[in-house]
Chain A
């Protein structure tokens, strides 16, 4: 079974530029998550999709970050314009259901973003 795919793996941009990340979840997984992981910290949830609807985006900085999952499969996360503090690893994860006590999430390898 193929895992969660993410691209690109690395991205270096200058502040105020735009960047987009792509994620393809495990086939059949209804729920997709985007996390931000700053060096030395655990992942922080940015947004959760259930199929193509947003379940939780309470910690997404909506003035600069946007995400979509138009057909309920793959997803794109965009930052526009980027700030220095956005330097982090952006992880995509998927799960079968998205709720319940087990809620096992499968993570992609992440995109390491460096903002100069």
Chain B
């Protein structure tokens, strides 16, 4: 079973600050996805990174996939209260019969105070 370690587990910041969430594993993934989940709702896909070293930007969010496809980061610039939520990374297994199966990290709870 592949494991994904997310850090930090909790993050409480003021509006306007920057932050980075990390997702690390000893396993190689074919792709890595980032989801955001609000209370009472299911996770919503933000982005999928596929190529080692890939960087994707979504407004104030920047996602990076490690060169070896074992780790990823999410950086938020000038956080806003609307960014508050649970951020989950999920790795898609690289091969075999479980090709594409998602393994989720434990999540980072982000609170942005006005």
Contact = CB atoms under 8 A, between A and B. Distances in A.
A58 to B, nearest CB: 9
Interface residues of A, number: 27
B104 A43 contact: yes
Nearest to A48: B101
The CB with the most chain A CB atoms within 10 A, among B43, B44, B45, B98, is that of B43
A109 B100 contact: no
A41 B92 contact: no
Nearest to A98: B100
A93 interface: yes
A29 to B, nearest CB: 14
Nearest to B41: A109
Interface string A84-116: 000000010100011111111111111010000
A100 B106 contact: no
Interface of A: 4, 9, 40-45, 48, 56, 91, 93, 97-110, 112
8 contacts: A91-B43, A100-B99, A100-B100, A104-B45, A104-B48, A106-B45, A107-B42, A110-B41
